[in-house]
Amino acid sequence: MTRPHQALSRRTLLKGAGAALALPWLEAMDPGTLRASEAPRPKRLGILFMPNGVREDQWTPTGTGREFKLSKTLTPLEPLKDELLIPTNLWNQASDYGDGHYVKTSGFLTCQTISKSLGFDLNSNGISMDQIAAAGIAGQTPLRSLELAIHPVSIGVDTNVGYTRVYGSHIAWSRPTRPLAREINPRLVYERLFRAAYPRPEKNQYQSLLLDRVLDDARQLKGRVGQADQSRIDDYLESVRSLEKRVEEASRSEGKTWKPLVDMDPGVKPSGIPREHAEHVRLMLDMIALAFQTDTTRVCTFMFGNAVGNTNFSFLEGVQGGHHSLSHHENKEENLVQYQRIAQWHVEQYAYLLSKLKAMKEGEGSVLDHSMILFGSGLRDGNKHSPRNLPLVLAGRAGNRIRTGQHLKFDRLTPLANLYRSMLEAFDTPMDRFADSDGLLPGVLA
Amino acid sequence: MNHSPSRIEITPATAFSKPLRHWKLIPLTLLLQTTLLVDSQESGVRFIQSYCVSCHQPPRPKGKLDFSTVTSEKQIVSRALDWDQYVARVRQGEMPPDDEDVDQPSHDERQTFVRWIESTLREAACENGIRPGPAITRRLNRSEYSASVRHLLDIHFDAGEALPDDGAGGEGFDNAAETLFLSPIHAEKYLEASQTAVEYGFADTRSNRRFLTAQPSDTLSPQAAADDILESFLPRAFRRPVSPEEHQAYREVFDSVYHKEPSFALALKTTLSAVLVSPKFLFIIEEPNPHPHPIPVSPHELATRLAYFLWGAPPDDELQQVATEGRLHESETLRRQMLRMLEDPHARKVRSFAQNFIEQWVGTRVLGREFRPDPSIKGYDSELEGGMKYEPVFFFHEILQENRSLLDLIQADYTYVNRRLARHYGIQGTFREQPKRVEITDQPHRGGLLGMAAILAISSHPHRTSPVLRGKWILDTLLGDPPPPPPPDVPGLEAEATGRAPTSLRERLEVHRQHPTCANCHDRIDPLGFSLENYDVLGRWRTTDQGHPIDPQASLPDGTSFSGPEALKRLLLDRKEPFLKHLTKKMLGYALSRGLTHEDYCAVDEIVTELGHNGFRSHALLWGVINSVPFRYKAGSNPETGVTLNTAETIRHD
């Protein structure tokens, strides 16, 4: 692959990053005035899902409001404390059924109960909040959303509990019956972002023609298959149509509505899937940062692991064994220590992404300032599998819409859906109703 | 020991002591049950009255389900699909709920009730002949996509490499129609992959021979050359004859490009890429059946089913030819095609079938992925991983290709090892990195799936063995009788980190089994696993574990005592029915690429009977599946109509 804009000047770069930066004297101006005069920055929504829960006595910060002290597990976030909003006592009532993991994974962002199914009539019964956000801003970026993971879809069906493991491998649902496929290879993510950011019109010349043929075939088929199968053909039609739109947009010689905010550096292209888990995770987080920085997409979900994920964390000092096995700690201190260490490692990775976004200057602030990055798990304690008082951290101000720098302790059993509604509000894609939400979370929105 | 398959075989007449159609009355895992099933409508209804009705009754039945009026099998049969769901919840221990004020049935009561419902539904389903499923519509999965592109362009290039991977549904395979979703990312990936593949095909002379059947010349116009190419390419891509209109539509793509830019190559590449992105290529699509009654699938549909079943690839030219001639539904022709396809001189396609099936059935696909042994387990490296991974694949490939007994899966005197795995097992001889067949009559601990390192590993924790996981693997994977998940809030059965504990794992497990809630299931699970304790995490033979001598003694709830893997295998061979039945279910589910229904189980019963008459040979299983009503027919608009065997026979010999 060649780099299309090899000789992109610093000047152009600065233009992309906001012309205001090019003028040193502006820096001395009152930040408030400046912000008002600046073009609004795109907002980004990222969600990092961790399987298997946390050691509960070492998660929740002490003290509430602005005066709080991070717990041991959250210490990696110390330098970013002002960027955080930590909500305590939220629960996902809809996932308090069924089994210990699948319901809590597929239902994490939908706040609905999945149907028990080995595949036939698979249904999450909801649309995940990231996809509601993505639908609200569809068309503003080349990629509607990005779904990333580390592990392939877990193999097989779980006959013990009667769920297909598809449920445990997906958090993003664009329709109740459609989980979104995830990309696990960082090289392919990079290439996809690159293709989206720099379409090659010369290559696309006849793509519209080609896609027209495909659309026509799909329409013919729709009349031929049974009622139940039409939705699959529809899914494909939709997929091809949105691609066609992109191709058309790319081949337009003028009036383009989208350009990458900053240039992509082919030097950071990953070579493939590293064997080491930690490196793999870092590369995927780099891709999220790149996608957000270039504005190739504004919505991204990432799964550190699938439900019941038994990733071996022996690479951490003092840890021996798989994540899921250790999450069944039986309240034995020797297990709890390791379980805590694994959760803390995940928080370190989260902190890495936040720092990276914070270091990416954008206008007066950073990409992080214009983002909302949620970290969380679908259950609190791996030994109990309870979706009460979920471990969650939100970071980034979403363009001054989120009041960060606080630990908010809500009434017990406050719906998680209230947090999601608040986030959607901050993202400018509000929903009057979402699952079991009964309002916005007080104190979150600025 | 060292049973050779021929000595284990039992003559058909004595193979099964009871007529097979009564199997449904025998608990699937007779050997592991504490009581025999006493099945009756009366006790079933009593169960509902005792354990369900207190919540599910007027005026406000929980979940809007009123069970207070259920008094007969007829009522259950009339709402079979719903009852499937209800009984699953009881089987998995979700119902009755674990609340203080709700009475809990005993383990035996629960089992008896579940089996009553299941056999009631099954019996009703088989009454009017076997009902096939509807016409298939599904997209190709990733590996089928790669194989299909390879077939069309003859390229040595994995076109599907960049596609997202597929999950599994139904019987646990990634070809299941129900879980082959389409995300927005797919179109983008298909477009990219098709263009790369076509470019690759154009650049390769060998590949050219496959699809560039004509070149424009002084005597052949570019349009005529394109027609020539499309004429063979389209029916191969769509796996059926193509109408003149369809041909014309693709010719128009060629013309439009050629009109703008008169380059034959460019116009053809665009056209062929369009074919590869068309849903007619990417989806297996069968014509819906307009009649109320079931009809046979069309010859090309049958060819497609057959090819993706036995090869994971599209029909080749010969198979398409036979289909075009309309002869594929003839029993003899169909059987001959099956045998030809299994011969597969390059072995690649049948091996891919063997691999897709066995790795997903027995679960070894997780090796090196979800399952990696802990670094504290010494001796694991990539060559060993390869040897472990491919042992069951090559082994099963031989069973399929050489028509061996399916009971070889339990006990055999041969296996496949590479250099590293041979050393691991202590097998003498010259080996290389590629697995090689080896006779193991002098290897008492090997032979059959249960002696394979890959299986012993994936049923362990990363850092130590687990009798519970291995026992569960046998019940779930080999016998199709998965134990329910542990109820919430029970004490953990296994402590972590054996070495640091004062007593052996066995002693601690036995203490836990004194807990009555746990004993219900663990009395069935743990003994099976204990008999395999002589194998370590990587399947190496050992006599001690962390200083504790291994004790492979086991005794089942029915009093049967045995010791060690050889005895376990004998036990499984003595009571082979549940194993064969489960394997047949898996194979039929894989072949139909969907989850099975009660209607399909009728076909399973028939196939298993045939297996008994054919020495449990693999070809009897494959033929039974291919010749079955669900494989050869599609349902009509009236789902109640079945195909009786006589009808099937008639059509078979039309």
Task: Flag whether the ipTM exceeds 0.85.
Answer: yes
Last residue of a domain, one of B55, B87, B119: B119
Per-residue pLDDT tens over the stretch B579-609: 999 999 999 999 999 999 888 988 998 999 9
Please state, in angstroms and rounded to a whole number, the distance separating the CA atoms of residues B310 and B626: 10
Pair B238, B102 in one domain: no
Under 8 Å between Cβ of A53 and A382: yes
Whether B474 and B565 map to the same domain: the answer is yes
User: Do B457 and B491 share a domain, yes or no?
Assistant: yes
Q: Can you tell me the distance from the alpha carbon of B528 to that of B465, in angstroms, rounded to the nearest whole number?
A: 13
State whether residue A130 sits within 8 Å of chain B by CB.
Answer: no
Tell me which residues of chain B, numbers 605 to 634, contact chain A at a CB-CB cutoff of 8 Å. Answer: none
Contacts of A104 in chain B (CB under 8 A): none
pLDDT of residue B492: 57
Q: Do the domain assignments include residue B645?
A: no
Would you call B169 an interface residue with chain A, using a CB distance cutoff of 8 Å? yes
What is the rounded CA–CA span in Å between residue A98 and residue A104?
9
Name which of B181, B459, B582, B586 to mutate to probe chain A: the one with the most chain A Cβ atoms within 10 A of its Cβ.
B181
Rounded to whole angstroms, how far apart are CA atoms A330 and A308? 16
Helix (H, G, I), strand (E, B) or coil at A440: coil
Considering the domain architecture, whether residues B474 and B394 belong to the same structural domain is answered as yes
B82 and B158 assigned to the same domain: no
Contact between B595 and B170 under an 8 Å Cβ cutoff? The reply is yes
Write out the two tokens for B468: 């519970």
Determine contact: B375 vs chain A, CB below 8 A.
yes
8 Å CB contact of A216 and B183: no
Determine whether the interchain pair A226/B134 forms a contact, defined as Cβ–Cβ distance below 8 Å. yes
For residue B301, tell me if it sits in a domain.
no
The pLDDT value recorded for residue B232 is 95
Q: Using the beta-carbon criterion (under 8 Å), do B184 and A162 form an inter-chain contact? A: no
The DSSP letter of residue B243 is: -
Report the C-alpha gap between A345 and B219 in whole angstroms: 71
Do B237 and B382 share a domain, yes or no? no
- The verdict on residue B223 lying in a domain is yes
Chain A touched by B171 (CB under 8 Å): yes
CA gap A24, A47 in Å, rounded: 35
Please work out, in degrees rounded to the nearest 5, the angle formed at the alpha carbon of residue A151 by the alpha carbons of B474 and B434.
Answer: 65
B-chain CB neighbours of A106 within 8 Å are none
Is residue B19 in a domain?
no
Pairing between β-strand B553-555 and β-strand B561-563 as defined by DSSP bridges: antiparallel
SS3 content of chain A, % helix, strand, coil (to 5): 40, 15, 45
Which of A118, A130, A335 is the mutation pick for testing B, counting most B CBs within 10 A? A118
Residue B489 has a pLDDT of 58
C-alpha dist (Å) from residue B110 to A197, B76, B79, B473, B524:
59, 17, 21, 22, 15
What was the pLDDT predicted at B173? 96
Tell me if B185 and A242 make a contact (CB, 8 A cut-off).
Answer: no
Distance from CA of B430 to the nearest CA of A (A): 31
Pair (B370, B517) in one structural domain:
yes
Three-state secondary structure call for residue B643? strand
- Judged by a CB distance cut-off of 8 A, whether residue A225 touches chain B is yes
The domain in which residue B275 lies consists of: 137-285
Bigger pLDDT: B407 vs B109: B407
Counted domains in chain B: 3
pLDDT tens-digit map of B554-575: 888 888 899 999 999 999 999 8
CB B313 within 8 A of CB B144: yes
Judged against a pLDDT cut of 70, whether residue B497 lies above it is answered with no
Chain B interface test: which of A217, A221, A235 (most B C-beta within 10 Å) = A217
Nearest-Cα residue of chain A relative to residue B270: A210
**Model pLDDT, residue B14:** 31
Which pLDDT score, from 0 to 100, does residue A6 have?
Answer: 36
Q: Which amino acid is at A141?
A: T
What is the reported pTM? 0.87
Alpha helices in A25-172, H assignment, sequence order? 31-37, 102-106, 129-136
Tell me whether residue B165 is in a domain.
yes
* DSSP letters for A90-124: EE-GGGSSS-SSHHHHHTTTT-SPPPP-SBTB---
> What residues of chain B lie within 8 A of the CB of A216, using their CB?
249
Contacts with B180 from chain A: Cβ below 8 Å: 232
Would you list the DSSP string of A372-403? EEEEE-S-S-TTTT--SS--EEEE--TTTTB-
Domain boundary among the residues B240, B267, B285 is at B285
Among the listed ranges A331-335, B46-50, B354-358, B485-489, which one has the minimum average pLDDT value? Answer: B485-489
∠ CA B563-B564-B566, nearest 5°, is: 110
Say if the Cβ atoms of B360 and A156 lie within 8 Å.
yes
Facing residue for A239 by CB, picked from B187, B252, B278:
B187
Q: B270-329, pLDDT tens digit by residue? A: 999 999 999 999 999 999 999 999 999 999 999 999 999 999 999 999 999 999 999 999
pLDDT of residue B343: 92
pLDDT number for residue B81:
75
Q: Which of the listed residues B574, B602, B630 is the one where a domain comes to its end?
A: B574
Task: Determine how many CB atoms are found less than 10 A away from the CB of residue B80.
Answer: 17
Give the span between the Cα atoms of A20 and A29, in whole angstroms: 11
Whose tokens are 């590996």? That residue is: B143
Question: Can you give the pLDDT at residue B78?
Answer: 83
Same domain, B432 and B496: yes
Biggest alpha carbon distance in chain B?
90
Is A209 within 8 Å of chain B by CB?
A: yes
| Average pLDDT, rounded, for chain B | 87
Our CA-based measurement puts residue A292 at a distance from the nearest CA of chain B, in whole angstroms, of 18
Report if residue B249 sits inside a domain: yes
Q: Which candidate, A183, A194, A417, A421, places its Cα nearest to that of A302?
A: A183
Least confident of A428-437, B7-16, B162-171, B535-544: B7-16
Residue B643 located in a structural domain: no
Q: Is the pLDDT confidence value at B654 over 70?
A: no
Peptide bond between residue B96 and the one before it cis (omega within 30 degrees of 0): yes
Return the DSSP state at B451. Answer: G
CB contact under 8 A, A210 and B273: yes
Residue of B167, B184, B485 lying closest to A161 (CB–CB): B485
Torsion of CA B319, B322, B327, B331, to 10 degrees: -40
pLDDT (tens digit, 9 = 90+) per residue, A112-153? 999 988 888 899 999 999 999 999 999 899 999 999 999 999
Inspect the interface and report whether the beta carbons of B169 and A182 lie closer than 8 Å: no
Residue B291 forms part of a structural domain: no
Structural contact between residues B444 and B1, judged by C-beta atoms closer than 8 angstroms: yes
- Is pLDDT at B551 greater than 50 in this prediction? yes
Question: Cβ contact (<8 Å) for B134 and A228?
Answer: yes
d(CA A342, CA A336): 10
Q: Do the Cβ atoms of A166 and B188 come within 8 Å?
A: no
Same domain? For B81 and B45 the reply is: yes
User: In sequence order, which ranges of A166-229 are alpha helices (DSSP H)?
Assistant: 186-197, 201-204, 207-222
- The answer to whether A181 contacts B375, with C-beta atoms less than 8 Å apart, is no
The pLDDT, as a whole number, for residue A4 is 38
Decide: residue A107, CB within 10 A, 0-12 exposed, 13-18 middle, 19+ buried: buried
Q: Are residues B61 and B203 in the same domain?
A: no
Mean pLDDT by 10 residues, chain A (446 residues): 37 36 34 49 97 97 96 98 98 88 96 91 95 95 96 89 93 96 96 91 81 95 84 92 86 79 92 93 98 97 93 91 89 95 98 98 95 97 92 97 97 97 97 95 96
Q: Which residue of A has its CA nearest to B373?
A: A312
Query: How do strand A44-49 and strand A371-376 relate by DSSP bridges?
Result: parallel
User: Is residue A42 reached through a cis peptide bond, with omega within 30 degrees of 0 on the bond before it?
Assistant: no
Chain B residues in contact with A214 (beta carbon < 8 A): 274, 277-279
Closest CA to A309 of A293, A295, A322: A322
A320 touches chain B (CB under 8 A): yes
> Taking phi first (over 0 means left), then psi (-120 to 50 degrees means alpha), and beta for anything else, what does residue B368 get?
left
Cα torsion at A309, A312, A313, A314 (round to 10°)?
160
What would the mean pLDDT of B166-175 be, rounded to a whole number? 94
The pLDDT, as a whole number, for residue A39 is: 65
Helix ranges (DSSP H) in A295-374: 323-327, 333-359
**Residue A175 bridge partners (DSSP):** A178
Mean pLDDT of the region B623-642:
89
* Angle in degrees, CA A109, A111, A115, rounded to 5: 105
Same domain, B73 and B218: no
Q: Which of B143, B175, B185, B287 would best serve as a mutation to test chain A binding (most A beta carbons within 10 A)?
A: B185
Helix (H, G, I), strand (E, B), or coil: what is residue B441?
coil
**Is the same domain home to B376 and B522?**
yes
